Amino acid sequence: MRKKLVAGNWKMNQNSIGISEFASKLLTKLQNSQPNSDILICPPFVYLPQLTALFEGSSVQIGAQNVSNNSKGAFTGEVSAAMLTDIGLRWCIVGHSERRKFNHETDEELIQKMELLFAEKINPIFCCGETLPDRNAEKHFEIVQQQIESTLCAMTTNIVETITIAYEPVWAIGTGVTASKEQAQEMHAFIRDLIGKQFGDSIAQNTHILYGGSVTAENAQELFSMPDIDGGLVGGASLKADSFFQIINNCK
Ligand code: 13P
């Protein structure tokens, strides 16, 4: 049985005062409950030490939103996988659609990032998902298959075993338009099947596939009740302790 994971992607939001308030609220709520899911928050780089300190000793893990595709050296503004390990992180988002779009990340760079993370024992959360024109043209399976085949399928089994996949249809991100539970489930099953064909059934069954795109306290329960949806990668609703906690509580 795959334990659910609720991961917050804060993107370029929050500040240090807001983070202190968020942490004290969430910790109080978690003290009085027994969550059924793993919990992860990925803040902007500069807030990683603050969040790590605030949640130390709790069930809340902290991760990064990005990592360099180079291991070290003259890359101004970049952060290496070794640096993430150095501050005790175990998770890092890779290939979010916003980075693919605004930073023109290529499949080759995503592979390099995941290989560097693997070497540092950090679990990547690999994002994939189609745009609205792709979906309207009924090309969504083809696009996601391409994204997986050109990255994960080009990597070794021991690395793929450590990867969590996040299916995030671009048309659902920050739009308030969530994929229906049926749309999400059929894509998650399709992705699991692809992983199974390439890496075998046991790895496919153990791979966590998160859904992301306008997850809220209201829709999380029905999405997370689907057999191939193993939790969520949550943007906007992870910024408030109340809604994030409600989403965590929706994991049965
Ligand atoms: P929203 O939950 O704000 O739609 O963002 C989803 C996302 O991009 C998480 O990585």
Q: List the chain pLDDT tens, one digit each, 252 residues.
A: 899 999 999 999 999 999 999 999 999 999 988 888 999 999 999 999 999 999 999 999 999 999 999 999 999 999 999 999 999 999 999 999 999 999 999 999 999 999 999 999 999 999 999 999 999 999 999 999 999 999 999 999 999 999 999 999 999 999 999 999 999 999 999 999 999 999 999 999 999 999 999 999 999 999 999 999 999 999 999 999 999 999 999 887
Active site residue 130: no
Catalytic residue among 96, 140, 188, 208: 96
Number of separate helices (H) and strands (E) present in the chain: 12, 8
216 CA closest ligand 1 atom index: 2
Which of 6, 233, 238 maximizes ligand 1 atoms within 8 Å of its Cβ, making it the mutation to test the pocket? 233
- Return phi, psi of residue 40, to 5°: -140, 140
* Residue 133 CA to ligand 1 centre (angstroms): 19
Max Cα distance, the chain (Å): 48
Quick one: tokens of 195? 């992983």
Specify the pTM. 0.97
Active site residue 115: no
* Residue 80 CA to ligand 1 centre (angstroms): 24
C-beta of residue 184 within 8 angstroms of C-beta of residue 226: yes
Going from N- to C-terminal start, the domains of the chain cover 4-249
Using DSSP's 3-state secondary structure scheme, residue 182 falls into: helix
Fold of the domain built from segment(s) 4-249: TIM Barrel (3.20.20)
- Compute the distance between CA of residue 161 and CA of residue 206 in angstroms, rounded to an integer: 8
